[in-house]
Amino acid sequence: MMEALLWILLPGFVALASGLLAWFVMQSKMEVALADQRTTLAEERGALQAERSAVQATFEAAMQAAQEKARREAFDHFLAELTVEQRHYTRENRLLLQNRKSLVLQERMFFRNIPLSDWIEHEIQLEDGVDVDRLVQDMTVFDKAVVNIADIPRRKALA
C-alpha cells in the first residue's frame, strides 16, 4: 500500500517541482528582459537630455547674440543720429598798433533736431597766410582724440 501511494504521489511531486523550476526560470528571464529595457530607456533618456541641453545652450547663445546685435544696432542708430553743427568766423582785434586776427570756432551737438549742448566757442590765434577753411576742417571740439582744443598739436593747426 505504501508502494502504491508512492507511485501515485511521486508523479505529482515531480510535476509540482517541474512547475516551480519552470516558474523560477521564466521569472529570471522576465527580470533580465526588464533590466535590458530599463537600460535602453536610461540610455535614451540620457541622449534626449543631452540633446535637449545642447539645443538649449545653442538657443541661449543665439538669443544672447541676437540681443547683443540688437543693442549694437540700436547704439549705432543712436550714434548715427548725433550730429555736430559747426560755424566759424574770423575776428580782428585792433590794439593800438597791433592787428591780431583770430578764428572763432563754434560747435554744438544735436540728437535729431534737439540740441544737446550750447554753443561751445574757442578762439584760435591766426598767423598771416593761414588757410582758414582748411584749419576749420581739421579741427573740431567733439573730436574723440582731442579733449581740449588747447591740446591740438601746433603743426596741425598751422598746416
SS3 72: helix
Provide the pLDDT for residue 92. 85
Q: Are 108 and 131 in contact (CB under 8 A)?
A: no
Is beta strand 120-125 parallel, antiparallel or unpaired with respect to 98-111?
Answer: antiparallel
Provide the pLDDT for residue 124. 81
Q: Which residues are registered as beta bridge partners of 124?
A: 103
CA 133, chain centre distance (Å):
43
Provide the pLDDT for residue 61. 96
Q: How far is CA 72 from CA 68, 81, 135, in A?
A: 6, 14, 34
Domain borders along the chain are 1-80, 82-158
SS3 129: coil
Provide the pLDDT for residue 140. 65
Write down the number of H helices and E strands in the chain. Answer: 3, 4
Provide the pLDDT for residue 31. 97
Strands (E), the chain: 82-95, 98-111, 114-115, 120-125
Residues with Cβ within 8 Å of residue 87, at least 6 apart in sequence:
106, 107
Provide the pLDDT for residue 156. 43
Chain position carrying cell 500500500 = 1
Query: Model-level pTM?
Result: 0.46
Cα separation, 39 vs 59, in Å, equals 30
Mean pLDDT by 10 residues, the chain (159 residues): 87 94 97 97 96 95 96 91 86 80 86 88 77 68 50 46
∠ at Cα 140 (91, 146), nearest 5°?
Answer: 120
Provide the pLDDT for residue 52. 95
